[in-house]
């Protein structure tokens, strides 16, 4: 199950890398020759077995997607050098790779000359985007109540006011509520979420852009989860419309370590106007001597950053170009198809309440019951029964309004229930939906979920 074929190719690539330093005098490196090395590594392998099988299609719980073998191998290869992409002194080759890989991500949104770089993940990337927003126009930051909680925390760190805008019955920002709040003034930045982490909902970006024309706020798109889905050709029309407007945002965050097939941690922040780089300006008495070119550390709040992450991302985009209809895009399309297929099975089963149609590859549902409390208890029991059968789902606390009239029958629209949630982000999930559903049905029979 675990890829080992790539180890041979990695060993051959390591020999090529070593040849690039053949002029150096030999130096002793013990490493694997240490007698204790093998024993400790075996112990690490044993310890790592205490994990869920994130790499397997029967893991359909949290947002954990295995890196592509080329990303894993390129990352490992770079670790023999361990470059630091803070400055060209520390990562010449991988700094160039980062710039090229980031340019490829920017091109997905029609940007040819933005300012951008990799980060440790979406949290740091969003921090930089909101920090730039504060530098340009200090004021209130707005995000949907379904947006990632990190925006509220980041705003607190930055010392700027933050307010939630209610979400609608499909987990998207309520643009009527947004318009009402904008009318009161004082808003500097609106965060549009392009794929919420709970349900994969995509904020109505076209409507938000129309409001920007009237109110002049800065628009930040948190596309950490959903950013790559703009390459998919069979999105729902309103979702397609939202992604087609991404190029109009002032800043965009994408997480390659989610749908970009990269190891953790690898985020990316992009700014449409490269002139915002002036806010990063700083002087260092010791870091920059080998080149007069722009260093990535001069456009990043982070200092030390792994060049290995850039190598992995560059290699992946080289093997799987970010083009509509290409192999990379087809993998995302298969994940979307898997989510739609599972959602259809849930809709047909009288034991469950299905939420709205999935926009990306996340599905949420709820066992039928007389009350939200009872439905929550059934969700938790089914979650445990499924895990006993090696199917790993997730639980999410979601409002009953997501379940329409059926949800209203068991509680208030704003009342929450513990729901079952599946993230079908592996392309292989398209081939495993029937098997996953079979386990769900069997687990339901043993957890008190009745027809």
pLDDT at residue 77 is higher than 90: yes
Domains 92-319 and 327-445 share a fold: no
**CA dist 348 to 333, 335, 353, 423, 451, Å?**
23, 20, 10, 20, 11
For residues 219 and 208, is the Cβ–Cβ distance under 8 A? yes
**CATH architecture classification, 327-445:** Alpha-Beta Complex (3.90)
DSSP string across 123-188? HHHHHHHHHHHHHH--SEEEEETTS-THHHHHHHHHT--EEEEPB-TTSSB-HHHHHHHHHT--EE
Give the C-alpha separation, 450 to 378, whole Å.
10
Question: Residue 447: what pLDDT?
Answer: 65
User: Cis bond leading into 265, ω under 30°?
Assistant: yes
Listed residue (220, 192, 197, 193) closest to 131, CA to CA: 220
CA distance 77 to 79: 5
For CA atoms 324, 329, 334, 336, the dihedral sign is: negative
Q: Which SS3 state, helix, strand or coil, does residue 190 take? A: strand
Structure tokens given for 420? 């079952």
Give the pLDDT of residue 90. Answer: 86
Q: Is the pLDDT of residue 34 over 90?
A: no
23 pLDDT exceeds 80? yes
**CATH 3.40.640.10 given to domain 92-319:** yes
Q: Give the pLDDT band of residue 289 (cuts 50, 70, 90).
A: very low
**Position of tokens 């099975």?**
345
Q: pTM of this prediction? A: 0.95
Domain range annotation of the chain: 92-319, 327-445
For residue 82, give the 3-state DSSP assignment.
coil
- Check residues 292 and 283 and name the one with the higher pLDDT: 283
Neighbours of 431 (CB within 10 A): 12
8 A C-beta contact, residue 128 and residue 269: yes
**Which tens digits make up the pLDDT trace of 146-165?**
999 999 999 999 999 999 99
Residue 152: name the closest of 179, 189, 178 by CA.
Answer: 189
């Amino acid at each position: 199950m675990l890829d080992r074929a790539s180890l041979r190719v990695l060993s051959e690539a390591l020999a090529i890398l070593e040849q690039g330093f053949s002029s150096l005098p030999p130096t002793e490196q013990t490493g694997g020759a240490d007698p204790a090395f093998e024993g400790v590594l075996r112990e690490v392998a044993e310890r790592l077995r205490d994990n869920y099988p994130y790499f397997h299609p029967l893991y359909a719980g949290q947002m954990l997607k295995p890196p592509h073998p080329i990303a894993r191998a390129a990352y490992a290869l770079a670790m023999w050098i361990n470059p630091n992409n803070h400055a060209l002194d520390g990562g010449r080759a991988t700094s160039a790779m980062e710039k090229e890989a980031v340019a490829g991500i920017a091109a997905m949104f029609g940007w040819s000359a933005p300012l951008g770089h990799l980060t440790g993940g979406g949290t740091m990337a969003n921090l930089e985007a909101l920090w730039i927003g504060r530098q340009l126009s200090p004021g209130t930051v707005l995000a949907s109540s379904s947006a990632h909680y990190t925006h509220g925390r980041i705003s607190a760190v930055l010392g700027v006011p933050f307010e939630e805008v209610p979400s609608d019955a499909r987990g998207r920002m309520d643009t009527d509520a947004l318009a009402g709040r904008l009318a009161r003034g004082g808003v500097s930045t609106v965060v549009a979420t392009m794929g919420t982490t709970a349900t994969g909902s995509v904020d109505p970006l076209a409507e938000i852009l129309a409001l920007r024309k009237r109110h002049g706020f800065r628009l930040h798109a948190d596309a950490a989860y959903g950013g790559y889905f703009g390459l998919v050709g069979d999105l729902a029309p309103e979702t397609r419309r939202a992604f087609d407007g991404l190029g109009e945002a002032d800043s965009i965050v994408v997480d390659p370590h989610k749908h970009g097939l990269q190891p953790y941690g690898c985020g990316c922040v992009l700014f449409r106007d490269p002139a915002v780089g002036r806010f990063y300006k700083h002087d260092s008495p010791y870091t920059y001597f080998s080149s007069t070119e722009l260093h990535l550390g001069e456009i990043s709040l982070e200092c030390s950053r792994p060049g290995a992450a850039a190598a992995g991302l560059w290699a992946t985009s080289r093997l799987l170009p970010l083009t509509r209809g290409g192999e990379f895009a087809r993998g995302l399309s298969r994940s979307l198809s898997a989510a739609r297929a599972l959602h259809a099975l849930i809709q047909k089963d009288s034991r469950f309440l299905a939420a709205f149609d999935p926009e990306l590859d996340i599905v949420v549902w709820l066992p039928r019951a007389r009350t939200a409390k009872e439905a929550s208890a059934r969700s938790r029991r089914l979650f445990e029964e499924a895990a006993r059968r090696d199917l790993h789902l997730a639980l999410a606390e979601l409002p009953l309004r997501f379940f329409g009239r059926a949800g209203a029958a068991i509680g208030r629209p704003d009342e929450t229930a513990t729901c079952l949630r599946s993230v079908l982000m592996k392309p292989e999930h398209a081939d495993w939906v029937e098997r996953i559903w079979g386990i769900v049905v069997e687990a339901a029979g043993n957890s008190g979920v009745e027809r």
